[in-house]
């Protein structure tokens, strides 16, 4: 839940622990003026509940969780900066329940990076590949119908529990859809065809 109490953070001294596929890594949290932010770090949409933090991730990674960076904003209209409660970034993310939101943003960044490379290759506006990508990313109910009609899940080596989660949870379906799109566009994916 969103709390009116904002945070006061000494950006230069904070560390953020994030879970990765290989364990736990610690990244420095740079200030907005820090030169340590790589050019490949691009802002990701942040939930209003993250305010006054803004998040950027490094899209150039090959595998594992992306490096993430947080920036503190300080707008004169935000009186939360004067609050006495102080959070570090890790605690603020936990307090605002942002793990799932950030995970989905990271997955979306992978797909958006594929799209930025123009996988459509001249098929024109609203071509077949574009319509399919739009269906997966923006019409989860329509994608679910396609999955059911074409028995798409049965074409992949998926554990019974994974199939159950996909059947019951739109977030899990979207994650599968992202992996399926990566396969469709000949990119590295976690799903394996039978």
- Beta-strand runs (E) in 10-129: 15-20, 23-28, 41-43, 53-58, 68-72
CB atoms under 10 Å from CB of 91, counted, come to 11
Burial call 93-112: b when 16+ CB within 10 Å, e when fewer: bebbebeebbeebbbebbbe
Decide: 109 and 57 in contact? Cβ < 8 Å: yes
Q: What is the pLDDT of residues 128-156, one digit of tens each?
A: 999 999 999 999 999 999 999 999 999 99
- Beta-strand runs (E) in the chain: 15-20, 23-28, 41-43, 53-58, 68-72
Q: What is the pLDDT of residues 95-131, one digit of tens each?
A: 888 888 888 888 998 899 899 999 988 887 788 999 9
Helix 170-184, helix 99-116: angle, nearest 10: 20
Q: What is the pLDDT of residues 21-64, one digit of tens each?
A: 222 222 323 333 333 333 333 444 555 777 888 888 887 766 66
Q: What is the pLDDT of residues 53-75, one digit of tens each?
A: 888 888 776 666 678 888 888 88
C-alpha atoms less than 13 angstroms from C-alpha of 4 in its C-beta half-sphere: 1
Top-confidence residue, 76 or 40? 76
């Amino acid at each position: 839940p969103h709390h009116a109490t904002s945070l006061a953070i000494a950006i230069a001294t904070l560390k953020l622990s994030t879970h990765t596929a290989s364990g736990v890594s610690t990244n420095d949290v740079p200030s907005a003026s820090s030169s340590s932010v790589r050019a490949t770090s691009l802002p990701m949409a942040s939930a209003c509940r993250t305010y006054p933090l803004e998040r950027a991730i490094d899209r150039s990674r090959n595998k594992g969780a992306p490096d993430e960076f947080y920036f503190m904003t300080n707008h004169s209209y935000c009186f939360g900066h004067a609050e006495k409660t102080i959070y570090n970034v890790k605690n603020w993310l936990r307090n605002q329940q942002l793990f799932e939101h950030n995970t989905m943003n990271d997955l979306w960044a992978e797909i958006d990076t594929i799209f930025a490379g123009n996988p459509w290759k001249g098929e024109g506006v609203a071509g077949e590949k574009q319509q399919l990508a739009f269906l997966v990313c923006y019409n989860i109910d329509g994608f679910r119908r396609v999955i059911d009609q074409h028995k798409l899940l049965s074409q992949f080596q998926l554990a019974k529990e994974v199939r159950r989660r996909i059947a019951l949870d739109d977030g899990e379906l979207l994650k599968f859809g992202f992996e399926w799109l990566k396969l469709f566009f000949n990119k590295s994916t976690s799903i394996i065809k039978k």
